[in-house]
Amino acid sequence: MSNNKYYLESNFTKYYPTDGYGVAIYNTDSRDTTFFEGPNDKLKKLFELEHFDLPTFQGLISCDLKNATQLINKLLLHKIVSKGE
Amino acid sequence: MLIDVGQYLFRVDSAPPIVKNNLKLMYGDAITNSSTAPADFTISLKHDSLLRKFLKPQVTFYLGSNSPFKPLPASQSYPVMEWGMNWCIAATDFNRLIVHAAVLVKNNKAIVFPATPGSGKSTLSAYFALSGWKLYSDEMAIIDLDTLQVKPLFRPVCLKNESISLVKQWFPQSIFTGTAKDTQKGDVAHLKINSFAEYKTFSPVNIVAIVFPKYQKDAKTEPYKINKIAGFQKLAANSFNYNILGSTAFNTIQRLVERTQQVEINYNDLSDVDDLLTSEFTL
């Protein structure tokens, strides 16, 4: 499995609703908005990490590998900080 | 002919007589014949050629010299004019958040009903507006980016298909245009709600709830609170200018969903929805 690591750059604005569920992330460069479901304390923890890998991402947002990869691609394109096999 | 729809001023340069008559019926005192006042939009509805005036007649809507739509049958002239006016606002106003939604106000509190499929938005607008609520819009919520207040528009309600006969049956005294048959939305007729004098008493108000109604034939009228992220997502999807406003829209919707409640309501009886909203939001 790839051990690529990812991080969220500062060109993302995040909204964690006060009802504790989900997050909306706005990319100020691409002007895309991405929505995540799930308890937002977990999501907050994820996006506060300095780096995270795919299994951590997948675990914290509770989605399958395919969806996790798609979300990573949408959100974090070109944000790979280290690569390895 | 100049039409004051509240937030915008339309100058109608030319239109077939049937359209002018319907405009007079729907907008009444909001129409003036001043030739000097600066308009936000100069619009017209024209036959593109002499041939198309007589042979399978068609009309084209123009904003200035640009026509955003393909020509449509002349029998649909009035709906084309109204849809063109909607387009002018939705495509060019980037100073407010504009959401495809109905807005109804009671006791100085606004409820926004986004136009999700199956919502029965226009039927609901007509029923509520003719049952004591103030209609701020049947088609678009005009939301101030700073105050988050919703502003009123002076426009008729666009009813489709079975809703036309239903509303005529519920409110036999109501004022309708003729029905345009077989448009892209089915049969369409417009309904006048307020006089311009009544409209002039409306002022911007705070939004207390975003309600997503869903008509279901055998449903018991029940509200379901939805989470804020789902409310955000639906509002963004129904906003005409979300992509243009970018981060401003993101921040505006964020503040709006934090300040309001988001509720889904399955219903089959509009009077139950009226009672429910009135008690839920102490209207």
pLDDT digits (tens, 9 = 90+) for A39-61: 888 888 877 887 888 888 877 77
Give the residue, B18 or A73, on which the prediction is more confident: B18
**ipTM value for the complex:** 0.85
Residues B126 and B157: beta-carbon distance below 8 Å: yes
> How would residue B158 be classed by pLDDT, with cut points 50, 70 and 90?
very high
> Could you tell me if residue B163 is inside a domain?
no
Instruction: For residue B55, tell me if it sits in a domain.
Output: yes
| Radius of gyration of chain B measured on its C-alpha atoms | 19
Least confident of A59-73, B120-134, B146-160, B188-202: A59-73
Residue ending a domain, choose from B60, B92, B124: B92
pLDDT bracket for residue A8 (50, 70, 90): confident
Same domain, B47 and B150: no
- Evaluate if residue B86 carries a pLDDT over 80: yes
Residues B81 and B141 grouped into a single domain: no
**Residue B118: what pLDDT?**
66
**Count of domains observed in chain B:** 2
Model pLDDT for residues A11-39, shown as the tens digit of each residue: 889 999 999 999 999 988 888 898 888 88
Residue of B nearest to A18 (CA): B258
- Cα angle value B100/B105/B108 (rounded, 5°): 135
User: Does the beta-carbon distance from A19 to B233 stay under 8 Å?
Assistant: no
Q: Does residue B68 belong to any structural domain of this protein? A: yes
B246 contacts A24? CB cut-off 8 A:
no
A18 interfacial to chain B (CB closer than 8 Å): yes
pLDDT at A1: 52
Considering the domain architecture, whether residues B259 and B119 belong to the same structural domain is answered as: yes
Q: Which residue has the higher pLDDT, A21 or B283?
A: A21
User: Does residue B92 carry a pLDDT above 60?
Assistant: yes
A83: pLDDT confidence band, cut at 50, 70 and 90? very low
B101 and B58 within one domain: no
Residue A56 structure tokens: 């951590």
Are the Cβ atoms of A23 and B229 closer than 8 angstroms? yes
Mean pLDDT for B251-275 is: 95
When scoring B94, B224, B250 by the number of chain A Cβ atoms within 10 A, the one with the most, hence best to mutate, is B250
Q: Does B275 contact chain A (CB < 8 Å)? A: no
Tens of pLDDT, residue by residue over B105-136, are: 999 999 999 988 768 899 999 999 999 999 99
Give me the CATH number covering residue B270: 3.40.50
- The answer to whether residues B39 and B6 touch, using CB atoms and an 8 Å cutoff, is no
- Please report the number of interchain residue pairs, chain A to chain B, with beta-carbon separation below 8 angstroms: 44
Which pLDDT value is given to residue B144?
98
Q: Which among A19, A26, A35 has the least Cβ separation from residue B233? A: A35
**Contact partners, residue A10, CB within 8 Å, separation at least 6:** none
Tell me how far apart the alpha carbons of residues B212 and B118 are, in angstroms, rounded to a whole number. 10
pLDDT score for A68: 74
Rounded Cα–Cα distance for residues B149 and B142 (Å)? 8
User: Cβ of B228 and A13 within 8 Å?
Assistant: no
Q: B145 vs A10, B131, B150, B245, CA distance in Å?
A: 24, 30, 10, 10
Asked if pLDDT for residue A84 goes beyond 70, the answer is no
Residue B269 contacts A where some CB pair is shorter than 8 Å: no
- Which chain A residues are Cβ-neighbours of B236 within 8 angstroms? 33
Residue B120 has a pLDDT of 87
Q: What is the pLDDT of residues B202-250, one digit of tens each?
A: 999 999 999 999 988 888 898 999 999 999 999 999 999 999 999 999 9
Give yes or no: residues B113 and B230 share one domain: yes
Residue B184 lies in a domain: no
Q: Say whether residue A85 is in contact with chain B using an 8 A CB cutoff.
A: no
CA–CA gap between residue B149 and residue A33 (Å, rounded): 24
Helices of type H across B61-202:
77-92, 121-129, 162-170, 196-199
Which chain B residues contact residue A13 at CB under 8 A? Answer: 247, 250-251
Asked if B86 and B222 sit in the same domain, the reply is no
Whether B16 and B130 share a structural domain: no
Closest CB to A19: pick one of B227, B236, B246.
B227
pLDDT class for B172, splitting at 50, 70, 90?
A: very high
Tokens representing residue A8 in the block: 């969220």
Would you call B228 and A28 a contact, using CB atoms and an 8 Å cutoff? no
Which pLDDT tens digit goes with each residue over B12-40? 999 999 999 999 999 999 999 876 778 99
* CA count, 13 A, side-chain hemisphere, B72: 21
- How far, in Å, CA of B212 to CA of B171, rounded? 25
- Distance in angstroms (rounded) separating the CA atoms of residues B94 and B38: 19
Interchain contact, A17 vs B227, CB within 8 Å: yes
CB nearest A13 (choices: B243, B247, B257):
B247
The vertex-B232 CA angle with B231 and B238, nearest 5°, equals 90
Question: Are B80 and B212 members of one domain?
Answer: no
* Domain-ending residue, one of B92, B120, B142: B92
The answer on B142 and B247 residing in a single domain is: yes
* Residue B13 lies in domain: 1-92
Q: Is the pLDDT of residue B192 over 80?
A: yes
Q: Per-residue pLDDT for B171 more than 50? A: yes
Three-class DSSP category at B29: helix
> Chain B within 8 Å of A7 (Cβ-Cβ)?
no
- Does B211 contact chain A (CB < 8 Å)? no
User: Which long-range contacts link B63-71 to residues 24+ away (Cβ below 8 Å)?
Assistant: B63/B87, B63/B88
B92, B122, B148 — which closes off a domain?
A: B92
Alpha-carbon B111 to chain mean position? 14
Instruction: Compute the average pLDDT of residues B252-274.
Output: 95
Q: Is the dihedral of CA B19, B25, B26, B30 positive or negative?
A: positive
Instruction: Identify the three-state secondary structure at position B134.
Output: strand
B66 and B144 fall within a common domain: no
Indicate if B103 and B227 belong to the same structural domain. Answer: yes
SS3 A39: strand
**Model confidence band, residue B76 (pLDDT cutoffs 50, 70, 90):** very high
